[in-house]
Structure 1
Amino acid sequence: MAGYLSLTTRLSLIFSLTMLAIWGLVSLVLMQSLEQHFARQDEDALRGKMVLVKNLLSARLTEGQSDWPLLESRLQQDLSGYGDYFLQIQNLQGTSLLDTRVKQPPLPTEQFGNSVPSNSWVADGVRYRSLTEPFLPSDSTLPEPVLIRLVLDTRYHQHFLDEIHTALLWLTGGIALISVLLGWMASRAGLKPLRTLARLSTRVTASQLNHRLPLSNAPAELHAPIHAFNNMLDRLEDSFQRLTTFSSDIAHELRTPVNSLLLQTQVALSQTRSDHDYREALYANLETAERLRRMINEMLFLAKSEQGQLAIQGQSLDLAEEVDELIEFFEPLASDQQVRLQRQGHARLWGDRAMLQRAISNLLTNAIRYTPAHEVVCIRVNGGDSAVTLEVANPGSPIPPEEWPRLFDRFYRADHARQQVTEGSGLGLAIARAIITSHDGTLSVRSDEQETCFTARFPAGQC
C-alpha cells in the first residue's frame, strides 16, 4: 500500500507522526512531573501532619489523658479541616488503640504490622499514601511504644490529574489534525519545484529534445537530479542526431549500388543482346551486389559490437609479425599508389588475431588511400609495462581538429579535407575502433602539417 502513496502524502504522514511523537513525549514528561510533584507534596503533608499528631498526643498523654476514645474525639477535632486524613494507632502486639476511619478505607494491615515507614497503594480507583512511625513520648502514661499510621486520600488532586489527562488527549487529537494539515501544506509548498520540473519535462519529445530544465529557481537538493536529467537529454539528443544522420547516410550509401543494379539491368533488358553482353552485365551486377553484401556485413558487425556480442578468441600475438604479414599483403596496393610501407618496433599483445588484423588492415587501407605518391606510411609498434601502442602515420593534408571526433562515425568521410575522392564505404574506421574497444583499448587520431597519425592503445596484459 505504501508504494501507491504520493510523495506529498508520505511527507505529511512523516511530519504528523514526528509531531505526535514529540507531543506524546512532552505529555508523558509533563504527567510524570505532575505525579512526582504531587507525590512529594503528599509526603511533605504527611510528615507535617505526623508532627502535628505527635505533638497533640504528647500534650494529651503528658497531662494524664490516656483514655483512647476521648483522645480519638480530641484528635478528630484537631485534625478536622486538614483534608482527608485517617489516623490509626496500634500497640506492638497489633491491637488497635485508635482509629479515625469513618468510611473504612481499605488499609493493608499486614504492611502496618511490618512497620513500613511510607507506602502507596490504589483501592477502588483511589490512591492512598501513608506514613507509619513509632511513638513513645517522655513523661507519658504509656507502658510501651505505639505505632502511628497516618493515611492520606489523594483523590482531591487525582481529579486534577484526570482532567489534565483528558485535556491532553483532546489536545493530542487536535494537534494530530493540525499537523496533518500543516504537513500537507508544507509538503505541497516544498514539492512545488518538483511539479514545475515535471510540467517542464512533459515538453520534451523525440522531436523537441532541445528543452532543458532550469537550475535558477530549483532548490539545492534538486540540482543533482536536474543535472543528471539534462545530461541524459544531451546524450539522447546526440544519439537521436547520430541516428538521424546514420539513417540518412545509409539511405544514401545504399541508393547508389541499388540504382546501379537497376540501371544496368534495365540497359541489359532494353534490347536483345549477345551472350557476351549479358555476361558483362551480370558481372557488373555481381560486383555491385558484392559491395552491398560487404556493406551489410560491416553494419551487422558494428551492431554486434555495440551490443557487446563480439566473441574474442584471445591468444598471444607478436604484433610486429602480424604487421609485417599485412604489409606484405598490402604491398601491391601500395605500389599502385607509389607509396612505401615501413614498420618500426616490436611488442607482444593478447587478442583475437583475425579481428586485430582486420582493424589494422582498415587503418592501413585508410593511410594508403590518403598518402601522396612517393611518400612513406609508417607503422610504429611500441610495447611498455603499462600499455602496448600501435601507430599508423602517413603524410598528407591535415584534418581540422573539429573533425577528429567524427572520423570514427559510421559513413563519415573527411574527403573534403583531404581533397580526394574515395570509394570506401565509410565504415572502416568505425569497425577498427569497435575491434580495439572490444580489446579494452582506445583509438585516437591527431593530424598536423607533418602527418596524420591513428594511435591504438591496448592495456599490457597476458602475452
Structure 2
Amino acid sequence: MGKHLSLTTRLSLMFSLTMLAIWGLVSLALMQALDHHFARQDEADLRGKMVLVKNLLTSQLNHGQPDWGQLESGLHSALAGYGDHRLQITTPQGLLLAGSRLPRPPAPSTAEWPVIESWEEAGIRYRSIAAPFALSSRTATPDMPDSVMIRVVFDTRYHQHFIDDIKAALLWLTGAMALVSVLLGWFASRTGLRPLRALAGLATRITASKLDHRLPLAGVPAELHAPIQAFNNMLNRLEDSFQRLTDFSSDIAHELRTPINSLMMQTQVALSQPRDAADYREALYANLEAAERLGRMINEMLFLAKSDRGQLTLQHASLDLAEELDELIEFFEPLASDRQVQLRREGQAGLQGDRAMLQRAFSNLLSNAIRYTPARQAVTITIAQDENGVTVAVANPGPAIPPAQWPRLFDRFYRADHARQPATEGTGLGLAIANAIVSHHGGNLSVSSDERETCFTARFPAPSPSP
C-alpha cells in the first residue's frame, strides 16, 4: 500500500511522525522531571514534619511523663494545614500510642534511619518517613518502653491530580500537534515539490515544434537545482538535435534533388524524340554519373549511421603516417596539378589505427583543401608527435571561414557560404565522415581559419602503456 502513496503524502507522514516522536520524548522527559521534583519535594516535607514531631515530643518529655492524648492533640494541631499528612507513634512491638492506623508500607530493606518509603495502594501513592525516638530514662516505666517509632505518611493525591491534569493536557496537545504537523508537512511538501510539478507541466508542453521552454532556477530549493539544470540541459541538447535534424532533412532534400532532377531531365530529353544509339549511349553515361553520385551519397550516409550507432569495426595496425600521406599526395597529384596547387608534407610519426578508414578521413581533408585553394598556392600537411599524442594538420590558403561557422562545418551537408558553388562536386558529407573516423580512433578534429589560411587539425591521443 505504501508504494502507492504520493511523495507529498510520504513526506507529510514522515514529518508528522518525526514531530510526534520528538514531542513524545519531550513529554516523557517532562513527566519524569515532574515526578522527580515532587518526590524530592515530598521527601523534604516529610523530613521537616519528622523534625517537628520530635521537637514536640522532646518538649513533652521535658515536663515529665508524656501524655499521649495531649501529645496527639498537639501534633494534629501542629500538622493542620499541611495537606494529607498523618501521624503514627507506636512501640517497637507495634502498640499504637498516638495518631491513627496508617496504610502499611512494604517492609523496610535497610536498618538505616530515617527510612523513606513510597508505595501505591488502591490507586493512591503514599510516601512515608519512619524513624525511632529514644525516651528519657527517667520517664521509663514498666508500661512505658524506652523508645518509640514515629511515622509520618503523606497522601500524594493532590500531586497526582496535578500530574493527571498535565497528562490530559499533553494528550490533547499531542493530538493537536499531530493535526498541525500533518498540515504543516503537507504544506511544506507541496511548496517544496512545486518545482517538480512545474517540471512535469513543462514536460507536457514540450513538442517537436516547441523546445524553447526552460524551467527557471530562481526561488527553487538547492536540492532541486541539479535535476532542473540537467532537465534544462537535456532540452538544450534536444533542441540542438532537432534543429540539426531539421537542417539535415532540408540539406538532404536539396542534395538529392539535384541528381534526381538531372536523371529525370536527361531521360526526358532522351525520350522526347527518336535518337540514334550514340545519343542514347551518351544519355545513359550521364545518368550513370548521376546515379554514381547518388550511390556515393547513400553509402556515406550509411557509414555515418553506423558510426552514430557505434557499429564501425576498426582493424588496428601500426602505421607510418608519413608513408600513408605520401601515398595520398601521389594519388591527388593529378587533381592538384590540374588546379595548379602544390602539395607538401612535413614531419613524421607512427600511429595505431585502421589504415583504410584513416586514409578515407585524410583523403576527405586533402580533397577539401585542394578544392578551395587558389591557383599557384600550396596545401601543407604537417605531422607532429609529442607526449600527448599525434597531430596531423591540413592547411590551405583561401577565404576565411567565420568563427561562428566552425562548429557546424562537421555537420552533414553543411557548407560555408563561399563553398556553395555549382563547381562543388562533393556530397557535403566529407568532413562529417572525417570527424566520425577520427572520433572512433579516440581523437578529435578541429578547425581554425583566418585571412591567411584555413587549417583542419586531427589530434590522436598517445597509446596507453601496456600492463
Q: TM-score, normalised by structure 1?
A: 0.86
2:169 maps to 167
Q: What fraction of aligned residue pairs are identical, expressed as a percent?
A: 69
1:352-391 matches, cutoff 5 A: 352-391=354-393
> d(CA) in 2 for partners of 1:30 and 1:217?
40
| Distance change in 2, residues 1:104/1:54 (3 Å) | closer
Alignment of 1:136-215 (within 5 A): 136-138=134-136, 141=139, 145-188=147-190, 195=197, 199=201, 202-214=204-216
Q: 1:225 to 1:99 in 2, by over 3 A?
A: farther
Cα separation, partners in 2 of 1:88 and 1:75, compared to 1, 3 Å: same
- Secondary structure at the aligned position of 2:126 is classed as strand
Aligned position for 1:297: 299
Write out per-residue CA displacement over residues 399-419 of structure 1, whole angstroms, 9 at most, x where no aligned residue: 222222221110012252586
Cα deviation, 1:306-344, whole Å, max 9, x if unaligned, reads 233323333332221221222222223223323222110
Deviation of the 1:160 alpha carbon:
1.4
Separation (CA, whole Å) in 1 of partners of 2:420 and 2:287: 30
Q: 1:427 to 1:419 in 2, by over 3 A?
A: closer
The alignment covers a number of residue pairs equal to 461
What residue is the counterpart of 1:29 in the other structure?
29
Change (3 A) 1:274 1:404: same
Amino acid at match of 1:20: L
> Of residues 401, 413, 432 in structure 2, which corresponds to 1:399?
401
Tell me how far 1:355 sits from its aligned partner: 1.7
Q: Which runs of 5+ in 1 are unaligned?
A: none
Distance 2:63 2:84 in 1: 28
Describe the shift of the 1:344–1:112 C-alpha distance in structure 2 as closer, same or farther (beyond 3 A).
closer
Equivalence for 2:13? 13
Match of 1:122 among 117, 120, 123: 120
Distance 2:223 2:400 in 1: 48
How many Å separate the matches in 1 of 2:399 and 2:230? 40
Equivalent pair of 2:69/2:98 in contact (CA under 8 Å): no
Contact 1:120 1:127 in 2 (8 A): yes
Give the equivalent residue in structure 2 for 1:135.
Answer: 133
Asked if structure 1 preserves the Cα contact closer than 8 Å seen for 2:115 and 2:131, the reply is yes
Alpha-carbon distance in 2 for matches of 1:299, 1:116: 104
The Cα offsets for residues 336-374 of structure 1, whole Å up to 9 and x where unpaired, read as 323222110111222222221111111111111112223
Tell me the secondary structure at the aligned position of residue 118 of structure 1: strand
**How far apart are the structure 2 equivalents of 1:243 and 1:211?**
19
Letter in 2 for 1:32: Q
Match of 1:247 in 2: 249
User: In structure 2, the residue corresponding to 1:362 is in which secondary structure?
Assistant: helix
Q: Distance in 2 between matches of 1:59 and 1:113?
A: 27
Taking structure 1 as reference, are residues 175 and 140 closer, same or farther at Cα in structure 2, changes over 3 Å only?
Answer: farther
- Of residues 4-13 and 437-446 in structure 1, the stretch that sits farther from structure 2 once superposed is 4-13
- For the pair 1:45 / 2:34, whether they are aligned, the reply is no
The more displaced of 39-48 and 24-33 is 24-33
Alpha-carbon separation, structure 2, partners of 1:182 and 1:140: 78
**Helix, strand or coil at the partner of 1:389:** strand
CA 1:100 to 1:351, structure 2 compared with 1: closer, same or farther past 3 Å?
Answer: farther
* Distance in 2 of aligned mates of 1:256 and 1:404: 26
Give the 3 Å change call, closer, same or farther, for CA 348–141 of structure 1 in structure 2. farther
Say whether the 8 Å CA contact 2:319–2:353 is kept in structure 1: yes
Of 370-379 and 424-433, deviating more is: 370-379
Structure 1, 100-109 or 365-374: larger mean CA deviation: 100-109
Mapping 1:320-335, distance limit 5 Å: 320-335=322-337
**Which shows bigger deviation, 145-154 or 346-355?**
145-154
Q: For the structure 1 residues 114 and 124, does the alpha-carbon distance in structure 2 shift closer, same or farther, using more than 3 Å as the test?
A: farther
Aligned twin of 1:422? 424
Give 1:204's aligned amino acid.
I
Return the alpha-carbon distance in structure 2 between the equivalents of residues 35 and 457 of structure 1. Answer: 81
User: What one-letter code is carried by the residue in structure 2 that aligns with 1:409?
Assistant: D
Task: Please give the root-mean-square deviation of Cα atoms over the aligned residues, in Å.
Answer: 3.4
CA distance, structure 2, for counterparts of residue 124 and residue 114 of structure 1: 28
Amino acid at match of 1:58: T
The residue number in structure 1 matching 2:58 is 58
Segment of structure 1 superposing worse, 174-183 or 192-201: 192-201
Query: What is the SS of the residue equivalent to 1:111?
Result: coil
- Alpha-carbon spacing, 1:414–1:124, altered in 2? closer, same or farther (3 Å): same
1:448 alignment partner in structure 2 = 450
Q: Normalising to structure 2: TM-score of the pair?
A: 0.85
State the alpha-carbon separation in 1 of the partners of residues 461 and 98 from structure 2.
Answer: 103
CA apart distance, 1:172: 1.4
Residues 118 and 130, structure 1, Cα contact 8 Å, conserved in 2: yes
1:433 to 421, 432, 435: 435
**Residue identity in the other structure for 1:84:** D
Q: Shift in Å at residue 427 of structure 1?
A: 0.3
Residue aligned with 2:109, SS: helix
Counterparts of 1:377 and 1:69 in 2: how far apart (Å)? 135
SS of corresponding position for 1:96: coil
CA distance in 1, matches of 2:23, 2:230: 40
TM-aligned CA distance change 1:304 to 1:109, over 3 Å: same
* Partner of residue 258, structure 2: 256
8 Å CA contact 1:445–1:454 kept in 2: the answer is: yes
SS in 1 for 2:376: coil
Match of 1:461 in 2: 463
Given that 2:448 and 2:455 are in contact with CA atoms closer than 8 Å, whether structure 1 keeps it comes out as yes
Instruction: Tell me, yes or no, if the aligned pair for 2:85 and 2:152 is still in contact at 8 Å.
Output: yes
Residues 247-305 of structure 1 deviation map (CA, whole Å, 9 limit, x = unaligned): 11112222222333344445555566666655555444443333222212211221222
Stretch deviating more after TM superposition (23-32 or 181-190): 181-190
- Deviation of the 1:77 alpha carbon: 6.4
SS of equivalent residue, structure 1 residue 309: coil
Stretch deviating more after TM superposition (67-76 or 330-339):
67-76
User: Compared with structure 1, are the counterparts of its residues 85 and 6 closer, same or farther at alpha carbon in structure 2 (3 Å cutoff)?
Assistant: same
Q: Residue 311 of structure 2: SS of its match in structure 1? A: coil
Q: Aligned equivalents of 1:218 and 1:70: distance in 2?
A: 84
Hey, what does 1:310 align to over in structure 2?
Answer: 312
SS of equivalent to 2:433: helix
Q: Which residue of 2 aligns with 1:339?
A: 341
